[in-house]
Amino acid sequence: MKNYFFVCLSLFLLSACSSLKKSVFYGGLAGAAIGAAAGNTLSPDPESRMPNTAVWGSLGALGGAAIGYFFHMDDPENRELPSMILPSGEGPLSKDKKMNEAIVIPSDSRKYRVETGPLPIHLKGRVKNPYIIEHVIPERVEELKNGKTITVEAHKAWEVSFE
């Protein structure tokens, strides 16, 4: 009866996880349950049942954690993707050695003042007035160093400024 419990528990724990920590943890739990059930079932005599359960449970936990790690890293959604704009200015969108900020030039910008309530006396003169600036970014086509082309559609971007 114990072995069926371990098998059912391990099948329950064989679920997908969203983080690396959970994948390794639940993989280790499932491996420990399967290893302990196998060690308990396959022990040759009653005297060696407990040591076999402990040894095979430990080995199963290590194997399950390793499998959880590798399956988590194998999923393309869990890999870190390279950034298109790098802080050094060497990104694929830069045409020269300058920072990439010079590439995006808004075609139109509007400034809106954000209304705030009355300020307390101790904050008057210390807090600057907030503004929201709406930029209209035109469509552009960027050529990468490897011969590929990226088309960026026209869009709006908002900036918060304190003046």
Q: What is the pLDDT of residues 3-62, one digit of tens each?
A: 666 665 555 555 555 678 888 888 898 899 899 999 988 888 889 999 999 999 999 999
- Evaluate whether residue 85 is within a structural domain: no
Closest CA to 140 of 153, 129, 127, 149: 153
Q: What is the pTM of this model?
A: 0.42
Considering only residues 63 and 142, tell me which one the structure prediction assigns the higher pLDDT: 63
Residue 21 sits in the same domain as residue 54: yes
Residue 53 sits in the same domain as residue 114: no
| Domain range for 27 | 2-78
- Find out whether 140 and 152 touch, Cβ atoms under 8 Å: yes
- Find out whether 72 and 17 touch, Cβ atoms under 8 Å: yes
> Could you give the number of structural domains in the chain?
2
pLDDT, tens only, 4-17: 666 655 555 555 55
Closest CA to 61 of 26, 96, 89: 26
**Count, residues in the chain:** 163
- Evaluate whether residue 90 is within a structural domain: no
